[in-house]
Amino acid sequence: MAGQIGVAAAPFTFVSHVLGVVAAVLVLFWCIHFRGGLAFEAVNKNLIFNLHPVFMLIGFIVIGGEAIISYKSLPLSKEVKKLIHLILHATAIVLGIVGIWAAFKFHNDSGIVNLYSLHSWVGIGTISLYGIQWIYGFLTFFYPGGAAGLRRSSLPWHVLFGLFVYVLAVATAELGFLEKLTFLQSGGLAKYGSEAFLVNFTALVVILFGAFVVISAVAPAHVEDPRGYVPIA
Ligand code: HEM
Ligand code: HEM
């Protein structure tokens, strides 16, 4: 994808790291300070639900985003970066599955039906496509590895489909924040209160993180001669 944007990717990857850390801190602060904490087993089923945003955001979105920008953010050889890319994506999928399991467990333990919302449908679609993308990437680029021609023709599709699935993941998280905050506000949470502000602000940081990840992937690693500019003297 090199050469389309005349600005190198590195500064965008730095901003992505910062936004990822901020998003992680905000979602933990929300679920622990405002929502009572996290638990795999509890009488208060809301604590099981709280695992869902934490695992989806830190595990799936932030680690998945770091996996995408690893080709641009790390000063390592192509082979090492490929290994890091595939391991971080595998980690994102596993943590995403744990997060979705937590949402199902919360529903089942509380007698709430499953898969009734747009958020949940897009969410299942996203994690399924993400899994398919990982398997195809693994088989083609890692082991056993496709023939040179197949790898060459697959790569642009891998990048395009990878970015599409990632944008879908960010959109799913946005729907999730909106849905949860709407539930809480219908239950009496102050519409302009500090918690509502925190949730909306977290969701904004997630949009910015997603945008910087995509820009990092699309921007070239090096800019040889930006716009062919030649100084006069
Ligand atoms: C890419 C990230 C995410 C994915 C793939 C995802 C996926 C899912 C899925 C599949 C369910 C259905 C569980 C069931 O039916 O038992 C669900 C439920 C839920 N999720 Fe997420 N989620 C994500 C992020 C978030 C975030 C960040 C929040 C913010 C709080 C959130 C809030 C909710 C809520 C409130 C429910 C229960 C209501 C419902 O089923 O729609 N999700 N999620
Ligand atoms: C769901 C999982 C995956 C997603 C979402 C994904 C996404 C991406 C994206 C967006 C890029 C472009 C990065 C850039 O140009 O800066 C990329 C590049 C690449 N990915 Fe993946 N990927 C996934 C899994 C894998 C796996 C398992 C492999 C196996 C080794 C792999 C191998 C590669 C390779 C070789 C590149 C090319 C890097 C270059 O431009 O030189 N990917 N991937």
Predicted local distance difference test score (pLDDT) of residue 230: 63
The Cα diameter of the chain in Å comes to: 76
* Whether residue 85 has its Cβ less than 6 Å from ligand 2: yes
The bound ligand whose nearest atom lies closest to the alpha carbon of 100 is 1
Quote the ligand 1 centre to 115 CA distance (angstroms): 9
CA dist 8 and 229 (Å) reads 16
From the list 75, 68, 77, 74, the residue with the least C-alpha distance to 134 is 68
CA dist 98 and 20 (Å) reads 20
Nearest CA to ligand 2 atom 16: 217
Instruction: Render pLDDT for 39-84 as a digit per residue (tens, 0 to 9).
Output: 999 999 999 999 999 999 999 999 999 999 999 999 999 999 999 9
- For a pocket test of ligand 2, which of 16, 68, 78 has the largest count of ligand atoms closer than 8 A to its C-beta? 68
Buried residues in 145-174 as b, exposed as e (16+ CB within 10 A): eeeeeeeeebeeeeeebbbebbebbbbbbb
Cα dihedral 77, 83, 86, 90 sign: negative
- For a pocket test of ligand 2, which of 85, 153, 154 has the largest count of ligand atoms closer than 8 A to its C-beta? 85
pLDDT tier at 2 (50, 70, 90 boundaries)? very low
DSSP E strand stretches across the chain = none
Quote the ligand 2 centre to 85 CA distance (angstroms): 7
Nearest CA to ligand 2 atom 24: 134
Predicted local distance difference test score (pLDDT) of residue 1: 46
Q: Say which amino acid occupies 18.
A: V
* Whether residue 169 has its Cβ less than 6 Å from ligand 2: no
Torsion-angle region of residue 3: left (phi > 0), alpha (psi -120 to 50) or beta?
Answer: left
Residue 8 in contact with residue 211, Cβ under 8 Å? Answer: no
- Over residues 152-169, the mean pLDDT reads 98
- To the nearest whole percent, how much of the chain has pLDDT over 70? 94
Predicted local distance difference test score (pLDDT) of residue 225: 63
Predicted local distance difference test score (pLDDT) of residue 224: 76
Instruction: Render pLDDT for 88-127 as a digit per residue (tens, 0 to 9).
Output: 999 999 999 999 999 999 999 999 999 999 999 999 999 9
Predicted local distance difference test score (pLDDT) of residue 227: 60
